[in-house]
Chains A and B, each alone.
Chain A
Amino acid sequence: MSENTHHIVPYRTYGLILLLLVTLTGISVAVTQIELSRWATLAALLLACTKSAFVLAVFMHLKFDQRIYKFMVVFIILVMIALIVLTFFDYGFRR
């Protein structure tokens, strides 16, 4: 039988997270309307990462799950970053 010591997340928590996510979305839109050019992209991506963190932690329950899931998710993200970085060893240095 499963060890579903399921901590029930209250509706309120989900609602608050949604508010947070929508706010962050609004900020992303606002920030990129300003002509910050290269920083705008970085800002938008960082905000996307923040939103993702909340979706992962609360909506997808990672915060309340066994540690191993957090570990796996972080691992996957690091692998994906490594793939992009290594690819840019080529593209970033072409003459």
Chain B
Amino acid sequence: MSSSQTEPKGYKSYLEEDGGRKGIFKWILSTDHKRIGLMYLYAMMGWFIIGVVLGLLMKLELIAPGKTLMGAQTYNATFTVHGVIMIFLIVIPGLPAVFGNFMLPIQIGAKDVFFPRLNLFSWYIYVLGGILVIISLFGNGAPDTGWTFYAPYSFKTGTNMLPAALGAFVLGFSSILTGLNFIVTIHRMRAPGMTWFKMPLFPWTLYATGWIQLLATPVVGITLLMVAGERILGIGFFDPAKGGDPLLYQHLFWIYSHPAVYIMILPAMGAISEIIPTFVKKTIFGYKAIVFSTLAIAFVGYFVWGHHMYTSGMSGTALWAFSLLTFIVAIPSAIKVFNWISTMHQGSISTEVPFLWAASFIFVFMIGGLTGLVLGSLATDVHVHDTAFVVAHFHFIVFGGVGFAFFGAMHYWFPKIFGRKYDSGWAKTGWITFFIGFVTLYGPMFYLGIAGMPRRYFDYLDEFHGPNIISTFGALVMIAGFLIILVNLIKSARQGERTTEMNPWGGTNLEWQVPTPPPLENFEEIPVIEKATYKFD
């Protein structure tokens, strides 16, 4: 149900406000959360294209056994930089940096975040981190350690570990400050009447994510500093020759990097929780269950990191303890999937583009999640650890999870953000192409992993050739789909049919009650909240 909007006199959209500045300074000196969200979007788009190209190069190398395009050293550097870009520059900033920045204040009825200048500063250091990663590509060559930077190789390799580690450190800071900003914003700036349990689900996930960003990231920060200490001073923390334990590196690294995957996925799940009710015209099933499972995932997720280390040499006690805890963390995720599907049940479904992304999200996320159980369970993991199975799992759950949710959120909030419409036909074509390509690309890797193909090798045995061809073909289809989506969105953002419709999809939250695009301070007057969220008549 769309409502005609009434433009207040003297209404200017945030895109028309320039703060008296010209050109690029309208953007890079702006503390407006909406512009900052877009700056993250544009930067991330650039990085994503680079990351995809690196991925494509790997798939092309793997199209046949033996050297196809590159030797082992180049391949190792390629998967390292691919991982560093995708993890630290794309999926961890992810939805919070783009949609969190843009939508959070609006969804809670605020004019901006609590610390707007800190917000801009967080973007600056995001850019700085990216520059450091670029620097690591020159000179002695890009790191070849994998994005996980395991010791002792990470302090022995002749490649440019330091700029890469420093880049990751700086990016971590950006993540911490964003989380801090969002937590304070949510605590202090909710509109009058918006109690915690009247807050929409996307902000809830940003809140839980903020705590993970805050508490987990510092641990990887110090770990990277310790690696720097190894390289520069030979300090000995992880060097067996000096009494250090390489396993300690792994513990410290994964103490962050496991919660990090929840930084990635929780906001994605939040976006899905926003999209589904709107397109089935039914209130979300089990709002409180979703809230509590979000918090549970964030909390339990701290204590499962050892499942990345089952074959590393940990004690038997650690092995079973982490296996047990990992099973526990799967439960709240399953609750969410159940709630989404229950929301759809007997709802009035409209298969618009955002809904297609949300529905396919559930599909790929389930596959990723179930295969995560195979990996999280000690007994089965030992057979597939460090094989292509792992690669398939995390691409399904991270790329499938965060990626599909990101595309869904992009198509959902696009009209509000840009005040323009995109072509639905092309968007749907792009979606189905991408989806088919995605499953074709990563599906065979499950089989390959079980059959024994290792990950992070530029070569493989002849018996793995067939499925690898299928997989590489899938990559090409997926990239074609991605290009369709990208071109459609970029064209539409710049020249698409303009719209000022406040609520094109019939959503219920506050972002659909402000003008399209929103004015600089979002609200003429801060609203007073009376009804609960997701109420459809």
Contacts and interface: CB of A to CB of B under 8 A. Distances in A.
Asked if chains A and B are in direct contact (CB within 8 A), the reply is: yes
Nearest to B313: A94
Contact of B321 (A79, A83, A86, A95): A86
B315 A83 contact: no
Interface string A70-95: 00000010010011001101111111
The listed residue with most A CB atoms (<10 A of its CB), out of B302, B318, B321, B322, is B318
B317 A92 contact: yes
Given A76-B215, A79-B215, A83-B255, A90 B302 contact: no
Contacts of A90: 247, 251, 306, 314-315, 317-318
Contacts of A79: 215, 302
B14 interface: no
B394 interface: no
Given A83-B255, A83-B302, A89 B215 contact: no
B302 A89 contact: no
Nearest to B316: A93
Given A86-B321, A90-B251, A95 B315 contact: yes
Interface string A22-40: 0000000000000000000
A33 B315 CA distance: 35
Nearest to A94: B315
A82 B316 contact: no
B388 to A, nearest CB: 27
A6 B59 CA distance: 63
Interface in B392-429: none
B303 interface: yes
A89 B321 contact: yes
Interface in A21-63: none
B315 A92 contact: yes
Interface string B193-233: 00000000000000000000001000000000000000000
Nearest to B317: A93
A95 B318 CA distance: 12
Contacts of A95: 315
A46 to B, nearest CB: 25
A89 B318 contact: yes
A89 B316 CA distance: 9
Contacts of A94: 314-315
Contacts of B306: 86, 89-90
Contacts of A91: 315
Contacts of B322: 86, 89
A94 B303 CA distance: 19
Nearest to A86: B303
A83 B254 CA distance: 11
A91 B251 CA distance: 11
Contacts of B315: 89-95
A77 to B, nearest CB: 12
Contacts of A83: 255, 302
Contacts of B215: 76, 79
Given A76-B215, A82-B303, A89 B255 contact: no
A9 B302 CA distance: 38
B368 to A, nearest CB: 25
Contacts of B321: 86, 89
B207 to A, nearest CB: 13
A93 B303 contact: no
A54 to B, nearest CB: 24
Contacts of B316: 93
A87 B317 contact: no
A94 B314 CA distance: 7
A95 to B, nearest CB: 7
Nearest to A2: B188
B220 to A, nearest CB: 13
Nearest to A72: B211
Nearest to A90: B318
Given A76-B215, A82-B303, A86-B303, A93 B318 contact: yes
A41 B468 CA distance: 58
Contacts of A92: 315, 317
Interface in B314-335: 314-318, 321-322
Interface string B302-316: 110010000000111
A82 B304 CA distance: 11
Nearest to B255: A83
Given A79-B215, A92-B315, A93-B316, 11 more contacts: A89-B306, A89-B315, A89-B318, A90-B247, A90-B306, A90-B314, A90-B318, A93-B315, A93-B318, A94-B314, A95-B315
6 contacts: A86-B318, A87-B251, A89-B317, A90-B306, A90-B314, A93-B316
Interface of B: 215, 247, 251, 255, 302-303, 306, 314-318, 321-322
Give me the 3 closest cross-chain CB pairs, A-B, nearest first. Answer: A93-B315, A90-B318, A93-B317
